[in-house]
Amino acid sequence: MIPYGRHDLRPADHQAVLEVLESGWLTGGPAVQAFEQDLASVCAAPRVVTCSNGTTALHLVAEAIDAPPGAWWICTPSTFVASIQAGIYSGYRPVFVDADPETGLICLESLAGLLEAARDHEAVVAAVVAVDLNGHCVSINDLADLLDLYAVPIVRDAAHSLGAVDADGLAVGGNDRVLATALSFHPVKLIAAGEGGALVGHDDEFMDRVKHLRSHAMTRQPGTPSDYRVDAVGFNYRLSDLHAALGRSQLARIEDKLEKRRALAAVYQEEFSAVADLRMVLPSEGTLSAWHLMSVLVDPERRWDLIAALRDAGIGAAHHYPAAHLQPVYSELLPGLEGTCPGAEAYCASQITLPLFEQLTPQEVKRVTQTLKNLL
Interface positions with ligand PLP (CB under 6 A)? 53-55, 79-80, 82-83, 131, 157, 159-160, 184, 186, 197
Q: How far is the CB of 315 from ligand PLP (least distance, A)?
A: 21
- Of the candidates 184, 186, 147, the residue with the CA atom closest to the CA atom of residue 162: 184
Q: How far is the CB of 86 from ligand PLP (least distance, A)?
A: 8
Of 83 and 249, nearer to ligand PLP (C-beta) is 83
Of 118 and 154, nearer to ligand PLP (C-beta) is 154
Of 79 and 139, nearer to ligand PLP (C-beta) is 79
Q: How far is the CB of 151 from ligand PLP (least distance, A)?
A: 25
Instruction: Write down the H helix ranges in the chain.
Output: 11-23, 30-43, 54-65, 82-89, 108-120, 140-148, 204-214, 241-251, 254-272, 303-312, 328-333, 342-350, 362-375
Of 71 and 293, nearer to ligand PLP (C-beta) is 293
CA distances (Å), origin 77, targets 6, 20, 107, 324, 344: 25, 40, 11, 5, 6
Q: How far is the CB of 185 from ligand PLP (least distance, A)?
A: 7
Contact criterion met (CB below 8 Å) for 299 and 350: yes
CA dist., res. 217 & res. 234, Å (int): 5
Q: How far is the CB of 212 from ligand PLP (least distance, A)?
A: 21
Residues 6 or more apart whose CB falls under 8 angstroms from that of 203 comprise 47, 176, 179
Q: How far is the CB of 362 from ligand PLP (least distance, A)?
A: 26
Of 184 and 371, nearer to ligand PLP (C-beta) is 184
CA dist., res. 190 & res. 290, Å (int): 8
Q: Does the bond joining 321 to the residue before it have cis omega, within 30 degrees of 0?
A: yes
Task: Please name the amino acid found at residue 317.
Answer: A
Q: How far is the CB of 64 from ligand PLP (least distance, A)?
A: 17
User: Of all residues in the chain, what percent are helix, strand and coil, respectively (each to 5)?
Assistant: 40, 15, 40
Of 96 and 372, nearer to ligand PLP (C-beta) is 96
CA dist., res. 144 & res. 150, Å (int): 10
Of 80 and 268, nearer to ligand PLP (C-beta) is 80
Which residue's C-beta sits nearest to ligand PLP? 54
Per-residue DSSP letter, 363: H
